[in-house]
Amino acid sequence: MTVNLTAELADARILAVIRGTDTAGAIAAGTALLEEGVRIVEVALTTPDAPRAVEALRAVAPAGSLVGAGTVLTTADVADVAAAGAQFVVTPAVVESIPEAARRGIPVAAGAFTPTEAYTAMRMGASAIKVFPVSVGGPAYLRAVRDPFPDIPFVAVGGVGLDDVPGYLRAGAIAVGVGGPLVGDAASGGDLAALRARARTYLAAVGEWTRR
């Protein structure tokens, strides 16, 4: 069954990005995030043995959660993460994995920074556009890119701190993607208790925005 990634992102409002140096640490971090109620989790392929981490997290993910793979660049990457059960893929740029994933029925949040890249990625089959690195331009830049493309779902990713969340959602992002500011060192074997506390704080922030 194909996932409606756009609808899921718009409902959850937050995508957790796991990028670590340790497979077991990535699995532990993802498990903690899912247990705390973060519903959409991405494991970057720069993490050692990331497909195994995706597979492990799919096995423990609560109903209604999504586990996907990030930094998916090539057709071979798509094959690897599809075999691991990834429910969506994320790219850092406009790359060959976008049409390949779309061909397989796997939704894609494609990395883009300029209006041309966003339009091109959507034409290649992306479901949503990950504006990356969004911190370079901030909410004002996101709003400017979105204005001519009101029908493109944009996700703000790259240096999104807790205090930045309302600004990006106000600027029209359907969700924010958060890596380092949320995950910290947990995906490399670091402090899981601190990760859980940060997860609760981020969930409270997006929950407060959603209730407005």
Q: What is the pLDDT of residue 211?
A: 61
Q: What is the pLDDT of residue 208?
A: 75
Q: What is the pLDDT of residue 54?
A: 98
Task: Write the CA distances from 5 to 95, 157, 191, integer angstroms.
Answer: 19, 16, 30
Query: Mean of the per-residue pLDDT values for the chain?
Result: 96
Q: What is the pLDDT of residue 207?
A: 84
Active-site positions read 42, 130
Q: What is the pLDDT of residue 63?
A: 95
Position 125: which residue type? G
* Annotated domain spans of the chain: 5-210
Q: What is the pLDDT of residue 50?
A: 98
Q: What is the pLDDT of residue 93?
A: 98
Burial class (CB in 10 A: 0-12, 13-18, 19+), 43: buried
Q: What is the pLDDT of residue 1?
A: 63
Which residues, 6+ apart, have CB-to-CB distance to 52 below 8 Å? Answer: 23, 84
Q: What is the pLDDT of residue 210?
A: 66
Q: pLDDT above 70 covers what percent of the chain?
A: 98
For 71: left if phi > 0, alpha if psi spans -120 to 50, otherwise beta; the answer is left
For 124-163, how does the pLDDT look when each residue is reduced to its tens digit (9 = 90+)? Answer: 999 999 999 999 999 999 999 999 999 999 999 999 999 9
Q: Which fold has domain 5-210?
A: TIM Barrel (3.20.20)
pTM as predicted? 0.96
Q: What is the pLDDT of residue 203?
A: 96
Low-confidence ranges of the chain (pLDDT < 50): none
Q: Write out the two tokens for 19.
A: 């990028």
Q: What is the pLDDT of residue 212?
A: 60
